[in-house]
Structure 1
């Protein structure tokens, strides 16, 4: 049996997940940002989550693969594609999670469905993602932007042995998150969805960012990242999105 499915079955309330995805060759590029700067980019209903008083923005390029709905086979030519997430860290009703500022992907079918179904700010991008002898190379340009200024180009690789983040550390706080929150652009209501995967196997990483304008319209990330991590990847299980009530997001 697949290890993650076995782990799910050992949980008290494993029912209800609807999708599986595999995330591969991830770079976690983290920047410490004043919470006041992040506040203007996040809905008022979401509390900015901080670590030792600092807010954080993370850019994550990776390869998405194995996307399929539960009990259904993968759809040919739609399940493997590169993606770049820009996210920050929030809390709702005491539940810590992530809030996506943007998600760029090269699959127009996925971007359209995810925007409508999960209310996530997906954008179609022209992307080149390849494994090289020295690590990973990625180049991305958003194709339906009015001025096509949202670009990201970088090379990254691991530079340490594999480790698991220990609870209480910044690495754990940034990576071990299992709830996403989003806002419906029409109703302004807050929604949440839970995910599950095995703990991240992390490595320290080196990165050369050649161009990064993904956040340029809100603020500039000109300085090098405060922390960079790499992971070979995980298989994840995704639950359906649901509206967040006053008591917070229903969790499994």
Structure 2
């Protein structure tokens, strides 16, 4: 039986969106971590967000498609590529959001643009995502000197559901603000999308050293896993907090 949603409507940010993307075959892999190990890796201005006192780190491999800026035609060759995110959960003045340790992408122009215009910690990587039936085989290896590699095969297990508002599933996935810093200034970017249609998932990890590259040690325990087939996402301009 499909679980029923208890969510409130998510408010659309003020102003106009400037970019849209589609995220396909998303794996959410979540690990509980000690918040004290994260404190030195997150800007002091941000508070670490916890669920019932527990901090979390998540990795999200997916295939990005339909990338385009508002009012502009698609950029040839820059509309689709694999992406892999390493993130944790933060708040600022009570507003929950995401803080990225890294975002790996298999597109040099996208990496350079995101670093320049969005102050995001993007890295250029050799990546490949292949679908075999309902399974996704995903591989990534960063192209710099840091040995940050990821390999996994994952698939959905359950019928789709939307998370109950007070649940851990909801807390981990329904996040609509991204925080970053640049030259000691805090920036944020709002996004908007429909509530996630999640599925329970399984995954076999052959390689996973992305967190190690950022001196984050993941526990030996099995991660909490979610899968999402597709999500259309709108992005608002990056703004400096004043």
Q: Which TM-score band applies after superposition, normalised by the shorter structure?
A: over 0.9
Higher RCO (Cα < 8 Å, 6 or more apart): 2
| 1:219 CA displacement | 2.4
Whether contact under 8 Å (2:134, 2:156) holds in the other structure is no
The counterpart of 2:207, out of the listed 206, 211, 217, is: 211
| CA distance in 1: counterparts of 2:13 and 2:179, whole angstroms | 21
| 1:226 CA displacement | 3.0
Correspondence for 2:231: 234
| 1:221 CA displacement | 2.2
Correspondence for 1:61: 61
* TM-score after normalising by structure 2: 0.92
Correspondence for 1:82: 82
* TM-score after normalising by structure 1: 0.89
| 1:12 CA displacement | 7.1
| CA distance in 2: counterparts of 1:210 and 1:224, whole angstroms | 15
Per-residue CA deviation, residues 172-192 of structure 1 (Å, 9 max, x unaligned), is: 0000000000011xx111100
Correspondence for 1:39: 39
Whether contact under 8 Å (2:31, 2:219) holds in the other structure is no
Correspondence for 2:124: 124
Query: Any gaps of 5 or more consecutive residues in structure 1?
Result: 1-9, 246-252
| 1:41 CA displacement | 1.1
Number of residue pairs matched by the alignment: 232
Query: Any gaps of 5 or more consecutive residues in structure 2?
Result: 1-9
Q: Secondary structure at the match of 2:26?
A: strand
| CA distance in 2: counterparts of 1:64 and 1:28, whole angstroms | 15
| 1:48 CA displacement | 0.2
Per-residue CA deviation, residues 144-165 of structure 1 (Å, 9 max, x unaligned), is: x22x410000000000010000
Cα 1:212–1:182 shift into 2, 3 Å? same
Whether contact under 8 Å (1:31, 1:227) holds in the other structure is yes
| 1:135 CA displacement | 0.8
Whether contact under 8 Å (1:90, 1:98) holds in the other structure is yes
| CA distance in 2: counterparts of 1:188 and 1:12, whole angstroms | 28
Within-5 A mapping of 1:65-144:
65-143=65-143
Correspondence for 2:3: none
Correspondence for 1:174: 172
Correspondence for 1:5: none
Correspondence for 2:4: none
Q: Which stretch shows the higher mean deviation, 187-196 or 214-223?
A: 214-223
Whether contact under 8 Å (1:22, 1:234) holds in the other structure is yes
| CA distance in 1: counterparts of 2:13 and 2:125, whole angstroms | 37
| 1:75 CA displacement | 1.1
Whether contact under 8 Å (1:29, 1:225) holds in the other structure is no
| CA distance in 1: counterparts of 2:106 and 2:11, whole angstroms | 34
Whether contact under 8 Å (1:136, 1:157) holds in the other structure is yes
Q: CA RMSD in A?
A: 1.5
The counterpart of 1:164, out of the listed 150, 162, 165, is: 162
Q: Secondary structure at the match of 2:171?
A: helix
Cα 1:12–1:50 shift into 2, 3 Å? closer
